[in-house]
Structures are given as structure tokens and as C-alpha cells.
Amino acid sequence: MTLSELRSNLGIGTLYSDATVEECCQSAQDIIDAYLWYNTALVYSTSLSNNIATITTTLPHGFVTGQTVTITKSGATFNGSFTITGDTLFTFTFAKTASDQITFLVSPFGLIRGAQTGTAYASVPAVREASMMIAVDIWQARQAPSGQGVGIDNFQPAPFKMGNTLVARCRGLLAPYLSPSSMAG
């Protein structure tokens, strides 16, 4: 979904700034991305000793020696793209020249992403539609009093849109692409 697609769907033209509309687009994309199946793992802790960084994941990560991964949200020393030099079920290592660092828990969890070899979600119509639905809900919650939706036909407040059913309303569209780890709970 693009900024212009959301503007067109909402019928707002250029009434609101690009930055304001883009926040809704990006929020929707972030929400949907969290549910899609990517080659990812969560960073539980980081450490650095003798120019070897060690990353510990929350679950078995599936990455292998020689694979390049991109780490984010894990601190400046550990963020970036690295080639794995060793791996176990829950950890992997890579070369990193920096001062030694004791083991730090990463809170909230960092993210590791390997190369995506499957579906390019940006071109999947069902994923794009789900993103649009979420973006519209976010937009309406921002514009309506008390974060409620507003009925398009009668302009009456509808139930709160940002609740626990936000993604549930579009889960059917996303079903073939959902990560098994996103469905827990």
C-alpha cells in the first residue's frame, strides 16, 4: 500500500500532510509484517568477546554458518549485516571489531532477518488489502472522538477500532501467509 493509495481510499486528497498519512501507512505495514512468515528470529541477548559477537535467540533460529543476516533493534554494536561464522541451536557468532561487552539482555527483543527466498509480500493482493484495512482503521481511530470508528453512512460512532480484534478482521486475507509463531496465544 502506498501513500497515494491510502489518500485515494480515504478520499482526503491533499487535505493532510504526507507525514501524517505516511504514519498510518507505516504503522499498518509494521502490524501486518509482524504476522507474516519471514526468515526471522528474535534476539534475546548479545555479547562481544575477543572480536567475536555472540547472539542468542529466543527460539531455535535456523540460520547456518556462512549465511548473511541483518540484525536490528539490538544496539549500535550489533545492528547491521553480518556473515555467520558459527552456530548452535539458539546462538550464532560473527566477527565484530569492537570493545568487549558482557552479555546484555535485549529488551524488547531485537530482530534478525535472513534473506527472504519465498513470497514478496508487497505484491500479494491479499496482503495489500489487509494493510489497507488496518491503515484505514488507524486513520479513523485518529480522526474520531475516543478512538472510535465512524459509520460512513450515518456518521455514528462505532466500537473502538484499535482493540484486540484489529488484525482479526483481516486474518482471513492473511491466512496463507501467516507465520506459525505469530499465531500463538
For the chain, where do the domains classified as CATH 2.40.30.20 start and end? Answer: 40-113
Q: Pick from 71, 34, 3, 47: which is nearest to 167 by CA? A: 34
Neighbours of 14 (CB within 10 A): 8
Q: d(Cα 110, Cα 100) in Å, to the nearest integer?
A: 19
- Kindly report, residue by residue over 143-167, the tens digit of the pLDDT: 766 555 555 566 665 556 677 778 8
- Kindly report, residue by residue over 117-146, the tens digit of the pLDDT: 667 888 999 999 999 999 998 888 887 665
CATH number corresponding to 40-113: 2.40.30.20
Neighbours of 5 (CB within 10 A): 14
Q: d(Cα 124, Cα 132) in Å, to the nearest integer?
A: 12
Q: Is the pTM of this model over 0.85?
A: no
CA-angle at 64, arms to 62 and 81, nearest 5°:
100
- CA 101, 104, 107, 113 dihedral sign is positive
Percent of the chain with pLDDT over 70: 88
